[in-house]
């Protein structure tokens, strides 16, 4: 049996990890809070440590210079002196001190740097530069110490500490000493310490989780695993197993519950074994109102006693009825055989009719196809005739237009002739000087005469063509009308032939359906004949089975109707059973035996 139990999402859930998760989440939250709080305290302490170190460095520089000279600071030119000691020119000791303490040192006279370990990108000390005005105001004007976590010197961020320097004779503030540490170095220093704290917290958390896992394994998972194995063997049918209580807690109570469940299932299994052996006299007492299996076994014993009694009485009646069914089945088989012979003759006749109807339908379809083709050709001819009539009309219109043009040409020739005549008259008046012009006028008149004659001939030919076109148009219209009548007749014929073809197809289909129906009837008759024969054989076999059934029922040990064995846990149940069996006087095959 599969041990893996999965939830609706298809993933297996584990109590082990659930318990560990329940224990680990608060522990993780506590570790995170403690680590965060510790990191905050550590960061603040480290910052204070840096500031304290810077203060010590500044004080150390001042004490070192006081050791060199007890006089006050003074400025000579651009150099800073402490008594007779030139501080600006003697920075080796201060450089060594700054390098040893990993700090930067600057000595101000006023607000101006006069000696410093800080160098620019060219490697030169940034002497001569001034301090921030806010720093100068607090340290120089107010004479107070000043520290900050972010001061920018030479474009670099520093943790800085400023200590005022006073004139020994007057007590006035004449300068200040700066001790600074790179902000990047301080941040890195703090990050290393915080990372170490985080790693330590993670290690502690992992150790706590290991301890929690071991405790969970021993206190929870081991008892659950034992009970799970018992449940698996029980689910596999193994009821011969012992479970003992070994803890005085809820798991011990659960072990006792498992023991009672195994005992109850074992008792029910023994009852089922006796029933399987044919002993229906065994008593079954449910463990309680919720014992569904016990109630079901009790009802099964009760119902089986009743039903097997009914079956035993019904088996005898079934044997008698089977003989009667066999006789009727033989008579039915003989009648269905005669019906099958008659149906076969009818089927042969209908098949001949169906073949003839199919041939008629095929011929009608062919005729319908020919008529449809003729109809299509007639439609095509009618369309072409319409196109020809349209073309004749276009030719007639063109001829009329040409006639109009020829008339215009004739008018032009007439006007040209008149102009030529006028030109001849004017040439005669001109005498000798107009002879050449007279010759030209004669030629123009001759050409005008020829143009007039040609236009006249063309007009006559066009008139004749127009008449012929009119005659052709009339004939085309008459032909189109005749084609329209032919097309109408062809359409009527096509409709009639189509109806004939459709009727033939329907007739063939109907005959086919009748044939199919007769065939089905023949199949049914043949089936009935075979079924009748099978029914007769089955009846004989049923009679034999009835005897076997009586023999089989006789093997069961049932509660007797009178003076039977009664083995119930109390007399109330025995009386109920006795009343039930004694009143069993009528057996209904339909209501009792039939439903089983």
Please name every residue paired with 175 in a beta bridge, in sequence order, or none if there are none: 109, 165
Q: What is the pLDDT of residues 467-522, one digit of tens each?
A: 777 787 777 777 778 777 777 877 777 777 777 777 777 777 777 777 777 777 77
**What is the spatial distance between Cα 65 and Cα 68, in angstroms, rounded to a whole number?**
5
Q: Is the pLDDT of residue 259 over 90?
A: no
Query: What average pLDDT is seen over the chain?
Result: 75
240-to-270, 285, 291, 353 alpha-carbon distances in Å: 12, 21, 21, 80
Are 361 and 508 in contact by the 8 Å Cβ rule? The answer is yes
Contacts of 420 (CB under 8 A, 6+ apart): 441, 442, 444, 445, 448
Chain position carrying tokens 């009760």: 302
| CATH 3.30.450.20 intervals, the chain | 25-209
Mapped onto helix, strand or coil, the DSSP state of residue 584 is coil
DSSP-derived letter for residue 72 is P
Q: Is the pLDDT of residue 135 over 80?
A: yes
Mapped onto helix, strand or coil, the DSSP state of residue 82 is strand
74-to-63, 77, 82, 130, 321 alpha-carbon distances in Å: 17, 10, 6, 17, 144
Q: What is the pLDDT of residues 146-185, one digit of tens each?
A: 988 888 888 888 888 999 998 888 888 989 999 988 888 7
Contacts of 523 (CB under 8 A, 6+ apart): none
The second-level CATH assignment, the architecture, of 25-209 is 2-Layer Sandwich (3.30)
Q: Is the pTM of this model over 0.85?
A: no
**What is the spatial distance between Cα 277 and Cα 270, in angstroms, rounded to a whole number?**
11
Going by C-alpha positions, the residue among 328, 332, 274, 325 that lies closest to residue 546 is 325
Two tokens at 275? 């029933």
Q: How many residues does the chain have?
A: 596
Sign of the alpha-carbon torsion through 431, 434, 435, 440? negative
Q: Is the pLDDT of residue 103 over 80?
A: yes
Q: Is the pLDDT of residue 202 over 50?
A: yes
Q: Strand 156-166 to strand 112-116: parallel, antiparallel, or no bridges (unpaired)?
A: unpaired
569-to-272, 532, 559 alpha-carbon distances in Å: 18, 54, 15
| CATH 1.10.287.950 intervals, the chain | 323-553
Q: What is the pLDDT of residues 37-71, one digit of tens each?
A: 777 777 677 777 788 888 888 888 888 888 888 88
The predicted structure's pLDDT at residue 6: 53
Class of domain 323-553: mainly alpha
């Amino acid at each position: 049996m599969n041990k893996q139990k999965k939830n609706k999402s298809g993933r297996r859930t584990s109590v082990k990890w659930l318990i560990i998760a329940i224990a680990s989440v608060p522990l993780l939250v506590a570790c995170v809070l403690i680590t965060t709080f510790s990191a905050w305290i550590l960061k603040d302490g480290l910052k204070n440590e840096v500031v304290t170190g810077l203060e010590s460095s500044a004080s150390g520089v001042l004490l070192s210079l006081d050791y060199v000279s007890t006089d006050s600071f003074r400025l000579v030119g651009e150099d800073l002196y402490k008594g007779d000691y030139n501080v600006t020119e003697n920075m080796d000791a201060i450089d060594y001190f700054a390098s040893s303490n990993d700090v930067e040192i600057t000595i101000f006279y006023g607000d101006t740097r006069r000696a410093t370990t800080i160098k620019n990108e060219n490697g030169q000390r940034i002497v001569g530069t001034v301090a921030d005005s806010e720093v100068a105001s607090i340290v120089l004007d107010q004479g107070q110490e000043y520290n900050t976590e972010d001061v920018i010197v030479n474009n670099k961020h520093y943790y800085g500490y400023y200590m005022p320097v006073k004139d020994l004779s007057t007590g006035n503030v004449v300068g200040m000493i700066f001790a600074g540490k790179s902000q990047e170095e301080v941040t890195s220093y703090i990050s290393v310490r915080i990372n170490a704290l985080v790693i330590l917290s993670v290690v502690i958390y992992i150790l706590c989780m290991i301890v929690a896992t071991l405790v969970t394994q021993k206190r929870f998972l081991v008892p659950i695993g034992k009970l799970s194995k018992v449940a698996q063997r029980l689910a596999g049918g193994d009821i011969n197993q012992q479970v003992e209580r070994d803890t005085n807690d809820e798991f011990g109570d659960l072990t006792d519950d498992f023991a009672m469940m195994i005992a109850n299932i074992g008792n029910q299994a023994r009852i089922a074994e006796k029933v399987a052996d044919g002993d229906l006299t065994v008593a079954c007492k449910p463990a309680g109102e919720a014992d569904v299996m016990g109630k079901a076994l009790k009802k099964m014993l009760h119902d089986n006693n009743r039903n097997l009694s009914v079956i035993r009485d019904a088996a005898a009646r079934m044997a008698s009825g089977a003989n009667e069914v066999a006789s009727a089945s033989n008579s039915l088989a003989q009648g269905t055989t005669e019906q099958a012979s008659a149906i076969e003759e009818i089927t042969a006749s209908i098949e001949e009719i169906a073949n003839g109807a199919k041939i008629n339908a095929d011929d009608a379809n062919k005729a319908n196809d020919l008529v449809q083709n003729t109809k299509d050709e007639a439609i095509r001819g009618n369309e072409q005739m319409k196109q020809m009539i349209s073309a004749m009309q276009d030719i007639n219109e063109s001829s009329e237009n040409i006639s109009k043009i020829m008339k215009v040409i004739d008018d032009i020739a007439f006007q040209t002739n008149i102009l030529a005549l006028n030109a001849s008259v004017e040439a005669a008046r001109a005498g000798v000087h107009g002879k050449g012009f007279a010759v030209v006028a004669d030629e123009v008149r001759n050409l005008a005469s020829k143009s007039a004659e040609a236009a006249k001939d063309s007009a006559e030919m066009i008139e004749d063509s127009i008449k012929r076109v009119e005659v052709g148009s009339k004939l085309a219209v008459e032909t189109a009308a005749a084609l329209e009548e032919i097309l109408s007749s062809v359409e009527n014929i096509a409709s009639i032939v189509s109806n004939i073809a459709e009727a033939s197809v329907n007739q063939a289909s109907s005959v086919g359906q009748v044939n199919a129906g007769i065939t089905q009837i023949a199949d049914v008759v043949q089936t009935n004949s075979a079924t009748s024969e099978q029914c007769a054989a089955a009846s004989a076999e049923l009679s034999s089975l009835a005897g076997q059934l009586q023999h089989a029922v006789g093997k069961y040990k049932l509660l007797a109707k009178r003076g039977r064995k009664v083995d119930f846990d109390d007399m109330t149940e025995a009386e109920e059973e006795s009343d039930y069996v004694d009143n069993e006087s009528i057996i209904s095959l339909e209501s009792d035996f039939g439903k089983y």
